[in-house]
Structure formats: structure tokens, C-alpha cells
Amino acid sequence: MTTETPPPAYGGGPVPAAGRKTVTLHRLRAMREAGEKVAMLTAYDAASARLLDDCGVDCLLVGDSLGMVMQGHPSTLPVTLEQMAYHTGCVARGNRGAWLIADLPFGSYQGGVEQAVASSVALMQAGAQMVKLEGGGWTAPIVAALVERGIPVCAHLGLTPQSVHALGGYRIQGRDAAAAQNLRAHARELGRAGAAMLVLELVPSDLAADISAGYPGITIGIGAGQRTHGQVLVLHDMLDITAGTKPRFVRNFMQGAASIGDAVRSYVRDVKSGAFPDEALHGYSA
């Protein structure tokens, strides 16, 4: 008898839930080729990791948004590498089949290649399968160095929350022609450097679509319209747990849902079908 997913080469490793295939980078690339949208959500703990994985979420992001969501800070800047490694370990222990990405926090890679490699090793040893870093231009050599060393990288352009003070707040990026050109150039460099995934946050839908069409990897949008290869939201935002006003690109998936599992399954279904995001409700123009 043949099985579609070969057993792990060295034995052991978590067994995914029944009917669920382990999500690998190879599988994510195949999804892009097949036009299947990638559904990603943030996770910071073992219980939600298990629930999201069982509900069919393809990728779990241990985002440094945990600084705001879990710790109550006004920005992601105070989050430390030790805290990210701790939460990555928690999520890795709950997860069985989803692809696990962990954010390199502020101050853990800005020092250059050597620091970025050491920080990424810490997150990979805690259970991450890919690390995410913010920004373009200066990050390209860092991405290339990590990829060369066998560490898959997700880049992050547009609104990069670690630069909130330089950007003057949480605002839409790439609206004028020069800024859009800059984003395109950074995406090209990051693609060439080998970033297998690229998060595009809070950019006009047409620009995100244009970047996605030319990007050699998988683009994941958040407030970037419908024409990226996948979508991500902060779990607490889409479950309407986050206090205060939510950004326009968030949909409350608890509305009409009987349980958190129901809400997460709706998110996965709507991302895959293209029903979320709705360009008219959640997208931005230049």
C-alpha cells in the first residue's frame, strides 16, 4: 500500500489530524501553482494552535503582535526574542500539521546577518519552520544569508509595525507612485534573495495584485485585497476579542458562528473560495 505523505525520515514527529496532510513549503508552493489560496492565522499558545490546525488553517504565525494582543503593549517593539521562542515552543507543541512561522522581533536582526542567524536559530530550535522579518532593501542580504543556511524566510512589506514610529502610525503604504515603486523594488529584491513567502500589509489592492503576480514565492495579504496567494489575520481580531475599533480589513467571523471552531472553519472556507476579503469592504485603493 502506498501513502501520499511519506513518514518522517528519522521517525517520530507529530501525526496530523485524520484527513489532514502535513503542510510543507513544497505543498504551499503547489497550492500557489494550483491557484489554491493559503489560509493563515496568528497563534500564540498550544490550545489555539491545535484548534486552528484541526480546523484546516494552513499556516500558523507566531506574530510579534502578541506584544499587543497578549501583553497589552501599544506596539510590537517591546517583544523579546526569548518571549518569541517561548510562544513558538507553545504553538509547536499544540500544532500537528500546519506550517509554523515565527516572527523575529524588533532588535533581533537589525544588527546584521550574524545576529539574524543566531536569532533565527533560536526560533527554529523552539519549533518554527520559517522565520519572518520586516522591511525591504537592507533586509535582502539578511534573507539571502538565512536561506543559504537552510532557514526558510517570510518577508514582510507595506505596513511594517516594527517601524511604526518611522512610518508615522498604522497607515496605508504605497499609495503614491514613488512609494509603490519602492515597494515593487523591495519585493523584487526579496524574491531574488530567496524569501519563499511575503506578507503584504495594508497596501492598495492593485499594488498587492501586481507584486503578487511577479513574485516567485507565496504572497499573503492583510488589508491588501483579494489577489494575493493567501490571507492572514490576527486570531483575536477575527474572533472579535480585541478591544476597541478594528481595522477595516478585519471581518468578525464570530458573527453567526456557533463556536470558535465554526468561526475558524468559516475563515478557511472564505479565504479558499475568495469570499474573504471582500474587495469593496476590506480592500484599499491607491
- Residues acting as catalytic residues: 201
Site residues, ligand KIV (CB under 6 A)? 42, 61, 63-65, 103, 199, 201, 222, 232, 234
As a whole number of angstroms, the distance between CA 261 and CA 283 comes to: 26
Q: Which residue is nearest to ligand KIV (CB)?
A: 63
Q: Among residues 20 and 163, whose Cβ is nearest to ligand KIV?
A: 163
C-alpha cell at 258: 456557533
Q: Are strands 197-201 and 153-158 parallel, antiparallel or unpaired?
A: parallel
Closer residue to ligand KIV in complex, CB, 193/199:
199
Alpha helices (H) in the chain, listed in sequence order = 25-34, 46-54, 66-69, 81-94, 113-126, 140-148, 164-167, 177-193, 205-214, 235-238, 260-273, 279-282
Nearer residue to ligand KIV within complex by CB, 18 or 166:
166
- List C-alpha distances in Å: 152 to 21, 130, 217, 230: 20, 5, 11, 18
User: CB 156 → ligand KIV: shortest distance, Å?
Assistant: 6
DSSP single-letter state for residue 27: H
What is the C-alpha separation between 45 and 239, in angstroms, rounded? 15
Q: How far is the CB of 32 from ligand KIV (least distance, A)?
A: 18
- How many Å apart are CA 258 and CA 158, to the nearest integer? 35
Q: Which is nearer to ligand KIV, 21 or 171 (CB)?
A: 171
Beta carbon of residue 111, minimum distance to ligand KIV (angstroms, whole number): 20
